Structure 1
Amino acid sequence: MSHVDSEVRPSNFIRNIIDEDLESGKHTSVHTRFPPEPNGYLHIGHAKSICLNFGIAQDYKGLCNLRFDDTNPEKEDIDYVHSIQDDVKWLGFQWDGEIRYSSNYFDKLHQYAIELINKGLAYVCFLNSEETREYRGTLKEPGKNSPYRDTSVQENLELFEKMRKGEFKEGECALRAKIDMASSFMCMRDPVIYRIRFAHHHQSGDKWCIYPMYDFTHCISDAIENISHSLCTLEFQDNRRLYDWVLDQLDDFKAPNRTRQYEFSRLNLEYTLMSKRKLNDLVVRDVVHGWDDPRMPTIAGLRRRGYTSASIREFCKRIGVTKQENMIEVGMLDACIREELNEHAPRAMAVINPVKVIIENYPQDQIETINAPVHPSNEEMGKRELAFGRELFIDAADFREEANKKYKRLVQGKEVRLRNAYVIKAERCDKDAEGNITTIYCTYDDETLGKNPSDGRKVKGVIHWVEASTAKPAEFRLYDRLFTDANPAAAETIDEVLNPDSLVVTHGLVEAGLITAEAEKAYQFEREGYFCADNKDSTPESLVFNLTVALRDSSQ
C-alpha cells in the first residue's frame, strides 16, 4: 500500500522504491535533498528536480535539505546562492532547517580522505592532466596504473599535508582514490578526489587551497545528513559505483540503511538549452540581457516573463518521472501557463500597434465610464472601469479598407463591435505620404452599449480599443523562442541557431487601470495574449509589459 494518496500524486518508480523501503522497515522516514552547484541560475530542468525532491518530502511527511555543492570556488558566486534560495521559495517549497553547504563538511571530508590514505585506498599522484588522460585508457582499453600508485601510506600522508599547506602548485599533483584502472566504468579508474585550487571561497574564505571533488563530496554529505534517498539525473548513473565505493570504505557509514542513489531522466525541452555553461556563455556575450532575461529558461527568467510557480509545478507533474530520456514538446509548458492564466488572469485592453479612431457623431469633450468585467466567467473578480470618448485607438491590423468575408474586424463602410462598448462603422480614413493609415473616421450607434452580437445586428466581429486621452503609453516586449532549432544543443555553434526575432519591441497604449499593474502578474490583453509588467524596468511612469504566452488563436 502506498504511503501517499495515489490519486493526488501519480506513482512512479522512485515512489515505488520509497514505499517498499518504508514497508520493509529499511527506512522509517523519508529525507531528500536538493544539491545545486552555485555556478549559475537554476533553469526549468532544475525545477523538475526541485519539485521531485521537495514534493516527495512533502507527500511522505519527511524532510528535504537545501545543500549547495560548493566545491568549485572559481566558478561560484554568492549571487547564485541567493538566486537559488529565491527560486526554491518562489516555487512554493521550504527546506528543512538551515541551509547546508558542502563546505560545512570540509574538515570532515579532509579527515575521510586521510582515512582512505591510511587504508591504502588513496594516493597523491603527480601525473599532469595529459598524462592522466593517457593512463586512464579508453572505453575499449583498460587504463594503466600511475607510477605513483604504490607510494607508501606514510609518504602519501606527508604529500597530502603539503598539498593542504599550499606547498605545491595548482595542477602539480592531486589525491586519487585507488580503485581499479581496468574497471569497465571510467569513473572507477582511480578518480581524483582532491585537487589544488588557490581560490577564495564564498563560505570558507581562504582557509583551504585543496578542494574535494563532487563525487567524493556528494555521497559523504548525503550520509552525514542521513539522506534516505539521493535522487540524481541519469548522467550520474555510472557514478553510483563510486558513490557506493566511497561510503563502503569509510567506517562511519557501514549501516545497512545508509543513503542510496537513484537516477531519473533529466528534462529535455524543445528549443531550450539545459547547460548552465552554455547559458552562461549567452549571458557573458550579451546575447541575452542577464540570467533573468525572459527568453532564458531560468526560473528567474520564466518568473519575469509572467509564468507562475503553479504552472511550472503542474508542468513538472505532467512530464512525470521515468528512467527514459525523451524530448518534451515546449507546447506542454505553454499549455500549463495558458490554462492557468485563462482561468485566473484579469482581462485588460492594450493596443500594441495603435491607429487613431475618431467617432464623429460622439459628443465633443465627453468622456463616459463603462463598467467591464475583470474576467468574463468569474463574477467574483469584479468590474473594472473603462473610459470611452470621441477619440480612441485600435490596433492597425484591425482595420482594412477592403476585405473578404473571412475578415471579421473593421472594414470601411461596415460595422464592428468595440469590446464592452458600442458598435461603430468605419466611414473613411486618412493616410500619410507613404500610404499608411493614420486616422479612421467612424460613427457609432448609441443604442448598442452593453448589447451583444445576438441583439439582431449583423456585426461580424469584436475588436479591442483604448480611449485616447486616458490611455497610458507602454512598451511591449514580444518574446519568441530563443532558438530556431528544436534541439539547439546539437548545433555546431549556438549562434547559427539563434532566433533573430526572439525579442521584438513595440510601443503602444494600455487602458488606464494598468498603471497599477503588479510586476510578474499576468493579464490577458484581450485578443493579443498574456502579458505582465516587467519586474525590473516597469514603473507607473514608464510601463513595460512582457509577453508571457500568446493566445491559442490570436485573432479571437
Structure 2
Amino acid sequence: MSEERSLNFIEEIIENDLNSGKYATLITRFPPEPNGYLHIGHAKAICLNFGLTKKYGGYTNLRFDDTNPVTEKTEYVNSQQEDIKWLGFQWKNELYTSDYFDTLYDYAVDLIKKDLAYVDHSTAEEIAALKGTPTEPGIGSTYRNRSVEENLDLFSRMKNGEFEDGICTLRAKIDMASPNMLMRDPILYRIKHAAHHRTGDKWCIYPMYDFAHGQSDSMETITHSICTLEYVSHRELYDWLIEKLGIFPSKQYEFARLNLSYTVMSKRKLLQLVNEDFVSGWNDPRMPTISGLRRRGYTPESIREFCDRIGIAKRENLIELGLLEFCVREHLNKTATRVMAVLDPIKLVITNYQKDQTEILIGENNPEAEDKGGTREIPFSNELWIEREDFMEEPAKKWFRLAPGSMVRLKHAYIVKCEDFKKDAEGNVTEIHCTYIPDTKSGADTSGINVKGTIHWVSRQHAKNAEIRLYDRLFTVESPDAEEGDFKDYLNPNSIEVIKQAYIEPYMSNASKDIRYQFIRKGYYCLDDDSTPELLIFNRTVSLKDAWAKTNK
C-alpha cells in the first residue's frame, strides 16, 4: 500500500487500537466460501486484509467458510489458494470453519442451556410469514417457549440424523419486535443430509453463516473482522452472539465492495455463465475471476495497484473497467517484451533486395527498461508480411503509411518505397512491391531521408504461425445487474474474435507463459494455456489505447 496517500477509515481505526494498547497484534482473516473461483472483487478484500498486516505487523489467516456442503468443492479450495499466492500474499494459518464444527455445536448447546435458542419445527414459509416487516413486529413461533430440556433433546436428535432436511431448525431467541429484521430469532442451524468435502458424513446439521462467522473469528482471536457493506445489518447479531457466549470479542468493520463496470460479481451468476457454456470455464479470459485475469495476461502488480488506487470507502460506487485496464497497461509498458506480429497479413516484396538473402537485425526487447530488456535477433528478407491496414491504394489526407509512391520505415530495418501492387479477380490487393534504400538501415542511417511513418513486419520465410484471441468486454452495458430482464441478455456477442492465421517473429518460438509481450502497434499479449509447440496461441490482454472509450461515447 502506498505511504503517500492519507489513511482510510479502517487504517485510522487500527492505528487508534494499536496505539491505545487495545491490541498488541493486528490479526485479520480472509474467509472465502469455497463455492466458486475468486474474482476481482475478492482481490480487493485480499489486498486489504493482507495489506493491513503487512503494513502494521501481525498476520492474516486464510479461513474457508465451508458450511454449505452442497455447493463447496476441494477444487475451489485449491484454486482460491493459488489465486492468493499469485497475488503475492501468504497466510499464516490455513483454517476451515469445519475445523470448528464440534466447538460450534457446543456453543449452540450453551445458548440452549441459557434459554437463548430453541428448536423450531415451523416450515420456512411459516417462519417467513411470522417474521413481520420492517415497520411491523414479528410474531413468535409456537415452538418458541419449549423447555430447555426439550430443546437440548431435539437438537441432539437433529445432530444424530433423526429428522429429514427442512423438518426443523435451531433459532436464536432474541427479539421478534427488533427493528433489525435479522435479530428476529435468526436461524443458527439447519439440517442438510449431504457429504461435506472435508468432514464427509459426520454431520447432517450445519451452522448458518451468521452463527459460524463471529465465533470462528473469536476462536482465532481476530482483532479486526473486515466485511463488505451488505453485512452492516449482521453486525448486531455478530456482537450479540459473542456477548452471550462470553468469548473473545472480535469486532466487525464494513467497507464498500468492488462493483466493476461491464461485468457481474455474483458467484452465482458467474457459475451460470460457466454451466450454460457462455464462457469456456472459470478461467475464461473474459471472466472477472482472478484465474481468468491471470490467463488473459494481467499481472499481480497491476491488480494490486488497481486495488490501491480505488481505495477503501464506506459508500458503494461503480468503478470503471478502464481503470483496471489502465493499471495493466502502465505495468506492461515497463515490463513487456516488444515483438512484431502481423494479425491481418498481406505480402510485401522488396524487388531490389536479393532473393534468398537473410539479414539479421537487432531489436531492443523493451526500450522502457534501463537495460532495454536485452536484445533479440530479427531475420529480414525480400518477402515480408505486413498489416493489410498499413497499405492504402488511394491514400487519405495525412496518410503516413504505404501507398503508391510513398515511403515508410520498416521497424528496426530500412526505408522502403511502394512501387506498385497486385490485385486478385475480386479487386483485393494481394501483393505490394517496394524497393528499399540500402543506406537507411535503422541505427546506421546515413541517407538524410526523413519519413513520418513506421510500420512493423515479419519475414515471410521465417515467420511462425500463431492463433490470436482478441478479447473485449463481456457485457455491452455498464451495469448488467441494474438492467431489466436476464443479465445474460446483455452479453457482448463480440467479446471474442479468433484470428486463425497470424504471423509472429521466430523469436517467439520459445515464448513463455511467464513473460508478457507487446505486439508492437497492436497491444499486450500473453501465451495461452491452450498453446502447444505446434500451435502458438496468444491472448490479447489489453489494447495499447482505450479504444472502447472512443467508440462508445
TM-score per shorter chain, which class? over 0.9
The match for 2:408 among 401, 416, 421 is 416
Q: What secondary structure does 2:416 align onto?
A: strand
What are the superposed Cα offsets for residues 176-218 of structure 1, whole Å, 9 maximum, x if unpaired? 1111111111111111110011111111111000000000001
Paired residues for 1:288-327 under 5 Å: 288-327=279-318
Aligned length: 544
Query: What corresponds to 1:407 in structure 2?
Result: 399
Closer, same or farther: CA 177–153 of 1 in aligned 2, 3 Å: same
Query: What corresponds to 1:144 in structure 2?
Result: 139
CA distance in 2, matches of 1:115, 1:378: 63
The match for 1:496 among 455, 477, 489 is 489
Query: What corresponds to 2:390 in structure 1?
Result: 398
The answer on whether the counterparts of 1:22 and 1:28 sit within 8 Å (CA) in structure 2 is yes
Correspondence 1:527 to 2:518: no
Correspondence 1:541 to 2:534: yes
Closer, same or farther: CA 517–10 of 1 in aligned 2, 3 Å: farther
Q: What one-letter code is carried by the residue in structure 1 that aligns with 2:521?
A: R
The match for 2:471 among 464, 470, 479 is 479
Query: What corresponds to 1:75 in structure 2?
Result: 71
Q: What one-letter code is carried by the residue in structure 2 that aligns with 1:239?
A: H
Query: What corresponds to 1:237 in structure 2?
Result: 232
Correspondence 1:96 to 2:92: yes
The match for 2:347 among 334, 341, 356 is 356
Correspondence 1:165 to 2:160: yes
Query: What corresponds to 1:368 in structure 2?
Result: 359
State the shift of 1:284 in Å: 0.3
CA distance in 1, matches of 2:381, 2:546: 29
State the shift of 1:538 in Å: 1.1
State the shift of 1:453 in Å: 9.2
**Larger deviation, residues 512-521 vs 197-206:** 512-521
CA distance in 2, matches of 1:360, 1:174: 85
The answer on whether the counterparts of 1:303 and 1:520 sit within 8 Å (CA) in structure 2 is no
State the shift of 1:285 in Å: 0.3
Correspondence 1:441 to 2:433: yes
The answer on whether the counterparts of 2:333 and 2:368 sit within 8 Å (CA) in structure 1 is no
Paired residues for 1:188-199 under 5 Å: 188-199=183-194
Query: What corresponds to 1:280 in structure 2?
Result: 271
Q: What secondary structure does 1:311 align onto?
A: helix
Q: What secondary structure does 1:75 align onto?
A: coil
Query: What corresponds to 2:551 in structure 1?
Result: none
Q: What secondary structure does 1:159 align onto?
A: helix
State the shift of 1:454 in Å: 10
Instruction: Determine what percentage of the aligned residue pairs are the same residue.
Output: 56
CA distance in 1, matches of 2:285, 2:110: 49
State the shift of 1:379 in Å: 5.1
Q: What secondary structure does 1:169 align onto?
A: coil
**Larger deviation, residues 427-436 vs 36-45:** 427-436
State the shift of 1:356 in Å: 0.9
The answer on whether the counterparts of 1:373 and 1:379 sit within 8 Å (CA) in structure 2 is no
State the shift of 1:433 in Å: 2.5
What are the superposed Cα offsets for residues 391-422 of structure 1, whole Å, 9 maximum, x if unpaired? 11001111111112322211122111111111
CA distance in 2, matches of 1:433, 1:78: 59
CA distance in 1, matches of 2:25, 2:272: 42
Q: Superposition RMSD on alpha carbons, in Å?
A: 1.5
Query: What corresponds to 1:16 in structure 2?
Result: 12
CA distance in 2, matches of 1:327, 1:192: 33
**Larger deviation, residues 446-455 vs 54-63:** 446-455
The match for 1:512 among 506, 513, 517 is 506
**Structure 1 length-normalised TM:** 0.96
What are the superposed Cα offsets for residues 301-322 of structure 1, whole Å, 9 maximum, x if unpaired? 0000110000000000000011
Q: What secondary structure does 1:239 align onto?
A: helix
What are the superposed Cα offsets for residues 372-400 of structure 1, whole Å, 9 maximum, x if unpaired? 11112335111110000011100111111
Q: What secondary structure does 2:440 align onto?
A: coil
CA distance in 2, matches of 1:6, 1:466: 42
Closer, same or farther: CA 80–6 of 1 in aligned 2, 3 Å: closer
State the shift of 1:519 in Å: 1.1
Query: What corresponds to 1:265 in structure 2?
Result: 256
CA distance in 2, matches of 1:424, 1:122: 85
The answer on whether the counterparts of 2:261 and 2:319 sit within 8 Å (CA) in structure 1 is yes
Query: What corresponds to 2:109 in structure 1?
Result: 114
State the shift of 1:8 in Å: 5.3
Paired residues for 1:442-481 under 5 Å: 442-451=434-443, 456-481=448-473
Q: Show structure 1 runs of 5+ residues with no match.
A: none
CA distance in 2, matches of 1:6, 1:479: 31
The answer on whether the counterparts of 2:440 and 2:446 sit within 8 Å (CA) in structure 1 is no
Closer, same or farther: CA 6–273 of 1 in aligned 2, 3 Å: closer
Closer, same or farther: CA 318–452 of 1 in aligned 2, 3 Å: farther
CA distance in 1, matches of 2:99, 2:531: 40
State the shift of 1:452 in Å: 8.6
CA distance in 1, matches of 2:489, 2:546: 30
What are the superposed Cα offsets for residues 323-357 of structure 1, whole Å, 9 maximum, x if unpaired? 01111111111111111111111100000111111
CA distance in 2, matches of 1:45, 1:378: 31
Q: What one-letter code is carried by the residue in structure 1 that aligns with 2:38?
A: L
Query: What corresponds to 1:28 in structure 2?
Result: 24
State the shift of 1:458 in Å: 3.8
Q: What one-letter code is carried by the residue in structure 1 that aligns with 2:110?
A: E
CA distance in 2, matches of 1:454, 1:529: 32
**Larger deviation, residues 376-385 vs 264-273:** 376-385
CA distance in 2, matches of 1:455, 1:479: 42
The answer on whether the counterparts of 1:305 and 1:520 sit within 8 Å (CA) in structure 2 is no
The answer on whether the counterparts of 1:270 and 1:486 sit within 8 Å (CA) in structure 2 is yes
State the shift of 1:447 in Å: 1.1
Q: What one-letter code is carried by the residue in structure 2 that aligns with 1:67?
A: R
The answer on whether the counterparts of 2:38 and 2:289 sit within 8 Å (CA) in structure 1 is yes
CA distance in 2, matches of 1:229, 1:50: 14
Q: What one-letter code is carried by the residue in structure 1 that aligns with 2:301?
A: A
Q: What one-letter code is carried by the residue in structure 2 that aligns with 1:156?
A: N
**Larger deviation, residues 7-16 vs 283-292:** 7-16
Q: What secondary structure does 2:127 align onto?
A: helix
Closer, same or farther: CA 376–476 of 1 in aligned 2, 3 Å: same
What are the superposed Cα offsets for residues 73-103 of structure 1, whole Å, 9 maximum, x if unpaired? 1011110000000000000000003x10000
CA distance in 2, matches of 1:292, 1:167: 42
What are the superposed Cα offsets for residues 14-64 of structure 1, whole Å, 9 maximum, x if unpaired? 010011111211111100000000000000000000000000011111110
CA distance in 2, matches of 1:49, 1:264: 9
What are the superposed Cα offsets for residues 421-455 of structure 1, whole Å, 9 maximum, x if unpaired? 11111222222222222211111111111159996
Correspondence 1:389 to 2:409: no
Runs of 4+ in 1 over 4 A off after TM superposition: 451-455
CA distance in 1, matches of 2:42, 2:444: 47
The answer on whether the counterparts of 2:471 and 2:496 sit within 8 Å (CA) in structure 1 is yes
CA distance in 2, matches of 1:393, 1:277: 46
Query: What corresponds to 1:341 in structure 2?
Result: 332
Q: Show structure 2 runs of 5+ residues with no match.
A: 548-553
